[in-house]
Amino acid sequence: MVGAALLVGAAAAGAPSKQPHIAFMLVDDLGFNDAWAVNTSDVAGAWPHVGALANESVRIATYYTTMLCTPTRGAFMTGRLPQRLGLHHGVIGGFQDYGLPANETTIADKLKGAGYATAHVGKWHLGNFDDASEPTRRGFDASYGYQNGEEDHFTRILQGLGDFQASSLADGASYYTVDDLLKINGTHNSFLFVDRAVAVVGAHDASIPLFLYLALQDTHAPIQAPAGYADDAACASIGSSRHYPDGARREFCGMVRAADESIANVTAAIDANFGKRNSVIVIAGDNGGIVKGGGNNWPLRGQKGQPWEGGVRNHALIRAPGRLAPGLYDKGMVHVVDLHATLVALAGGASAYEIDGLDVWAALRDGSPSPRSEVLLMYDPCAQHGPLAVNCSAPAYSYRDGDYKLVHPSIINDTWIMPPPSVGAAYADDGAPSCVHPEPHGAVSLDAACVSLVDNATYLYDLSVDPEERVDLAAEKPDVVFAIQAKVLDFVARHEMYPCNVPGGPCFDVDQAGNASCTALGYFRPWIRN
């Protein structure tokens, strides 16, 4: 087993360390109403193990990410907002020749510098066009998983091509050919990823700290649960609705059940091999759920790909026995970049240049106010204003400043979508549209039926009394609007790396050499060898 064998060697070469083992487990496209922390959720019962784990953890009440997969991963990896990284317009497609900038230092780099062994399992989605973008060239000793934003959970196929690889510093990269994929065809990725993560932990020398980054494919589209999981008692009573036809939400619940089981098995391995008091476990979502992918963000407004709370507010917990007392942390907001800064500091690592993340460990430990009082939630210089149309003359942005949140312009004026009813129960459908379609590689597009809902208005909300973003205060508080806009424009002027994947940009179009190379092979692999 490539990854496991490598990490034994890495551990043996180092000196014993008292630093905690760290596992960061990311759940893909987890909606606000899809998580363990929402007792009223229709899928809450599908989290029995993580629900129990939450009772041993600090649960962050106000946790923010970005609104899409690639920018959140870039933010966690670097501790820097995606606007600094050029990753703030859409997501990376399979044949686009860009990724996380090569000069950025990742959390894996920093923890390796502090004496950690490092392993990545699952989704990457930070570039696959060249060898230098591989996880093992970005600080990880070993990697096992897929490069793009999504794939079939059972076949590892995306747009007709396979996407799976195992790599290590010792042995290099091994990309799964068509024949290799046939050998594991029919096995759900949940099982492959958890088996590899458990093997990595089990083979690791506990005297050397380990950083495990497990990026689950669940609960990302396509809606495919392992066989029988949607029939679990926690899912069996979930019905259908206009937004969740043909049992889509029930199947999604089966994916939640698989994610819970994966996290439970990895946690058990960590506890058995390292001990609870010698480890820190973080579980978090990466962006809002997407309704047409089975997710739900009720009662928040909007969904994945949107700057509303339903697109950027999520859930996170940290289990650290002997270090953090369990309970709900509700003394302010925490952003994904803060988890980077916090874990790097906890591990004894250092950042050689400016990051946006703030170390929130003392606040979580003491129950004191978060050092985070404001954050840029979204800025896109080429906002989407219609079905697959992009307007590069009208940037869109969203910013949280204390209790206030600014959204300008709305981009997609989406609303509040309830989960489906239980089987046989009454259901009041308010007729609201769902404005986002999932696209290949984890991208999203605007439903044509929602064009009339797109406007260029500026909205302001007081989230302390209006977390569902229902009462617009922009007209009565123009001074607040102006002050927040000035902060956004100042940050962008000083720090933005303009994204190369905008229309007309150097990496907007499909790289034809990459397309031809991968198509000839039948699977994704870097086409620039460096």
What residues are annotated to the active site? Answer: 69, 125
Ramachandran angles phi, psi of 162, nearest 5°: -75, 155
- Burial class of residue 314 in the structure, from the number of CB atoms within 10 Å of its CB (0-12 exposed, 13-18 middle, 19+ buried): buried
Cβ-proximal residues to 507 (8 Å cutoff; 6+ apart), any chain? 96, 97, 98, 500, 501
- Burial class of residue 424 in the structure, from the number of CB atoms within 10 Å of its CB (0-12 exposed, 13-18 middle, 19+ buried): exposed
**Cβ(254)–Cβ(229) under 8 Å?**
yes
DSSP 330-399: EEEEEEHHHHHHHHHHHHT---SS--S----HHHHHHTPPPS--EEEEEEESSEEEETTEEETTS-EEEE
Shortest CA distance to 15 belongs to which of 280, 208, 176, 297?
Answer: 208
Cβ-proximal residues to 486 (8 Å cutoff; 6+ apart), any chain? none
Taking the chain, what is the end-to-end CA distance rounded to the nearest angstrom? 25
- Exposure string of 92-111, with b = 16+ CB inside 10 Å and e = fewer, is bbbbbbbbbbeebbbbbbbb
DSSP 208-269: S-EEEEEE--TTSSS--PPTTGGGSTTTTTB---SSSGGGHHHHHHHHHHHHHHHHHHHHHH
**Cβ(189)–Cβ(219) under 8 Å?**
no
Element spanning 63, H or E: strand 58-64
Dist. CA 92–CA 126, nearest whole Å: 7
- Burial class of residue 32 in the structure, from the number of CB atoms within 10 Å of its CB (0-12 exposed, 13-18 middle, 19+ buried): buried
Beta strands at 142-146 and 327-335: parallel, antiparallel or unpaired: unpaired
As beta bridge partners, residue 327 has: 58
DSSP 475-512: TT-HHHHHHHHHHHHHHHHHH----TTSTTSTTSS--H
75: its two tokens: 């933010």
Dist. CA 282–CA 255, nearest whole Å: 20
160: its two tokens: 């007709």
Dist. CA 130–CA 180, nearest whole Å: 22
90: its two tokens: 């859409």
